[in-house]
Homo-oligomer: A and B are copies of this chain.
Amino acid sequence: MFDPVEKLKEYIACRSVSADSAFKEDMLKTRDFVADMFSGMGLSVEIVNTNKHPVVLAKREGDPEWPHVVIYGHYDVQPVDPIELWETQPFEAIVKGDRIYGRGAADNKGPQMAHVAAVGQLLEEHPDLPLRITFLIEGEEEIGSPSLLPLLVERKEIFSEADFVLLSDTLSPSPEQIAVTVGLRGIVELEFELTGPKSDLHSGLHGGAVYNPLQAISELCASLHTAENRVNIDGFYDDVTEVEQWERDELAALGFDEEQYKRTLKVDSLHPLDGYTAQEAIRYLPTLEFNGLWGGYQGEGSKTIVPSKASCKITCRLVGNQKPDVVGKLVAEAIKQRAPKGFQLKFRMGHAGVPYQVVPPDRPNTPSDQPELLAKAFRATEKAIEKSFGKRPLFLREGGSIPIIADVKRVTGLDSVMIGLFLPEDNLHAPNESMNLDVLKKGIQASKEILKEVAGV
């Protein structure tokens, strides 16, 4: 078996930037690297071509009676800009102290390697392990996984007899405290443009006579939250669900330090909805967030105009039973109704993803029809992490969105066990990305324990 750290170094050396077409050749080399890695472990490999970057499927087949786990990961990485802030070469992995540095170390090559190495070692130690395994490693995660949903639909058979999905592409609060993510927020994106005069007007000759689109869009955007920071749209919270006591207990066990959090974000104060802590707001509440707002002159000095247009980009994060199309429509409708007369309004509705939630076994709200193997996987995960990391994991909802997790659930019925193997200090999507090698080592141990337990050996 390969050495996981050495293999990870080679993997990081693959310059797999999916967003930049200049890296097309590197993407193909990375695909081959991944395929060879699995072939070398004795798995049967299939390359599934897509419109952009291929998916690598690697299977350990076996008796249809055996449990079947799908392990998800992605071989693509974020661009490296701003390159001048890197202290090492992003594609030359370097081990310093207990960390490995390089683009993709934490997102997702390192955490993915925990499962790859676990399977490799396990199959050497237990050549007859009664477990079917399918690795699904895609190359488009950093550009929104456009090919994954079509693949799920076309190749349903991959999942038809699977029992659950295992992945590590989420955050844990610290190397001592691993989190298992049991909820992800959904998302809906929209953009609108408000046009007043057909072209910019001279603010001397006409200022005072016409409604300034920047004034109008400010008034419109300001109307979307109350002074308590509640989204001020009727029905917005209708499908938000209650938070269970066990979830509050898990969050309390996290012992979150708000002062430390403020220092990390470099903000002077937090601003959650009245009555909630910041951590509750992130994990349990939907948002209406302005991602971009612009109009008029942005250059040096001044330009004395009444601008023609103003634009705004919004994403809403969704929770519970909120539906992206329903919430998107509510927000667009509110904007339409509140836009002052005399303006033209143009909308673009963007990408959307439903919220995802899975309840571990033995909770008051665990579904009575929860598949036995999913329950087994959760119990195995709790036990294995406690054994490897010394502390039981916390089962927490997260504020982020991984729309494919909900897509997998919707199309295949499969739930996901998401074990957080990257940390706040790992600099994901930023210069000097790294992974804690102790977390990698313990992650391999834990993954092996989980897979053995699920296999029943």
Contact = CB atoms under 8 A, between A and B. Distances in A.
Contacts of A342: 267-269, 271
Nearest to A223: B222
Contact of A293 (B222, B265, B296, B303): B296
A212 B290 contact: yes
Interface stretch (A1-9, A52-60, A273-281): A273-281
- Interface size range of chain A in the complex: 35 or more
Contacts of A222: 215, 218-219, 221-223
Interface string A414-430: 00000000000000010
A52 to B, nearest CB: 15
Contact of A295 (B210, B211, B287, B292): B292
A209 B278 contact: yes
A281 B306 CA distance: 15
Contact of A400 (B196, B205, B266): B205
A310 B287 CA distance: 19
A302 B189 contact: yes
A291 B302 contact: yes
Interface stretch (A43-51, A113-121, A156-164, A311-319): A311-319
Given A302-B291, A305-B291, A401 B204 contact: yes
A205 B279 CA distance: 10
Contacts of A199: 266
Contact of A290 (B215, B261, B271, B317): B215
Interface in A392-436: 398-401, 429
A251 interface: no
A351 interface: yes
Given A208-B285, A217-B218, A304-B187, A203 B291 contact: yes
A270 B341 CA distance: 10
Given A208-B282, A218-B218, A296-B313, 4 more contacts: A198-B267, A202-B429, A218-B219, A298-B311
Interface of A: 171, 185, 187, 189, 191, 196-199, 201-212, 214-215, 217-225, 229, 261, 265-273, 278-279, 281-282, 285, 287, 289-298, 301-307, 310-313, 315, 317, 340-343, 350-351, 398-401, 429
8 contacts: A204-B317, A205-B400, A207-B282, A217-B293, A218-B293, A290-B296, A302-B313, A304-B315
